[in-house]
Copies of this chain bind each other. A is one copy, B any other.
């Protein structure tokens, strides 16, 4: 195709190779001046600037970002580190989006990295992604996914500023010193359960896998609501469930095998709620006519369920945004005291709760 060849030949010098020195020569000025117009520096005469701009355009020059960064002592790149998730769960995907969205408004960039590690090995044994082993490429880290104490130790050891999305932190004693952003598990179920009670429910079970600390916190919210209304909290325990959906399905069977059936169930999360719903439906029990149901997380699928699931909404993008914001503060004020932000959740009424 000689035509395509010609088209290529017409093209101006490949930008990659044009350097600031060539532009300087073409414009008949020093390299410092080029740099000054590039950085919109104050003092450059109108005509010099015009001449430089023209040369830049003509040569298709784009400054080398790495070279600038090394002088700036800051890369304006942060690493979003997703740990121990087999695939990018929609929940975390949206946090990532939130991070990126806020970062880009500030001309910052987000590097995506993944880490798989065992909670049981010593911190030094954790093999961090290459980007965290070098220095200069990224300014800081946003830690998402499931976070065990050994990972936290490991990250601290590389002395890189970081902010953790803390809801999935497992096995910490609470007195931790690091920047963190989370959402309010406790108040989420507290609100949801209060709503059920307002609707006239009295026999309300909680179904959630409490081996996860965040589910445990949700249980506490449920328990609080029950207690303040002098109701008896009942938690369904399932051993050996295969994931949250399965936990829900097994919970439904457990409920049905009991003599007295609850009029409502608070699920530890939407997946468990889905499992409950599936299994109840199979046994011929209608939601909400015979059993009311609320979830937690407000995943995309919640609104698609039939009927749409009443659940606790978590603002995922806002979490990401807040993480990024906090990391930036940390970068600008390294000595600042550690802070923790708990973002509010919101109970969303849809159609899985019946008024008694």
Q: Which residues of A contact B (CB under 8 A)?
A: 4, 11, 14-16, 60, 62-67, 69-70, 75, 77, 80, 87-88, 90, 93-94, 96-97, 100-101, 104, 107, 109-114, 129-131, 133-137, 158-159, 177, 245, 274, 278, 281-282, 301, 304, 306, 317
Other-chain residue from B4, B129, B135 in contact with A63 (beta carbon distance below 8 A): B135
Q: How far apart are A336's CB and chain B's nearest CB, in angstroms?
A: 14
Q: Provide the bound-state CA to CA distance between A115 and B135, in Å.
A: 28
A-B contact pairs, 26 of them (CB 8 A): A11-B159, A15-B158, A16-B135, A60-B159, A64-B134, A65-B135, A65-B137, A66-B75, A66-B136, A66-B137, A69-B137, A70-B70, A87-B90, A87-B93, A87-B94, A87-B97, A88-B93, A88-B94, A88-B96, A90-B90, A104-B130, A109-B131, A110-B112, A112-B112, A274-B304, A278-B306
Other-chain residue from B88, B107, B129, B135 in contact with A88 (beta carbon distance below 8 A): B88
| In contact, A136 and B93 (Cβ under 8 angstroms) | no
Q: How far apart are A110's CB and chain B's nearest CB, in angstroms?
A: 5
9 new A-B contacts, CB < 8 A, other than A88-B90, A281-B306, are: A63-B134, A64-B70, A66-B137, A77-B111, A88-B96, A88-B97, A100-B112, A101-B114, A104-B130
One complex includes copies of this chain to the number of: 2
Q: Provide the bound-state CA to CA distance between A153 and B274, in Å.
A: 44
Q: How far apart are A243's CB and chain B's nearest CB, in angstroms?
A: 10
Other-chain residue from B15, B80, B129, B245 in contact with A135 (beta carbon distance below 8 A): B15
Other-chain residue from B14, B63, B110 in contact with A111 (beta carbon distance below 8 A): B110
| In contact, B104 and A129 (Cβ under 8 angstroms) | yes
Q: How far apart are A127's CB and chain B's nearest CB, in angstroms?
A: 11
| In contact, B111 and A96 (Cβ under 8 angstroms) | no
Name the residue of chain B whose CB is nearest to the CB of A108: B130
- Tell me which residues across on chain B come within 8 A of A158, comparing CB atoms: 15
Name the residue of chain B whose CB is nearest to the CB of A92: B93
Other-chain residue from B14, B94, B135, B278 in contact with A64 (beta carbon distance below 8 A): B135
Name the residue of chain B whose CB is nearest to the CB of A300: B87
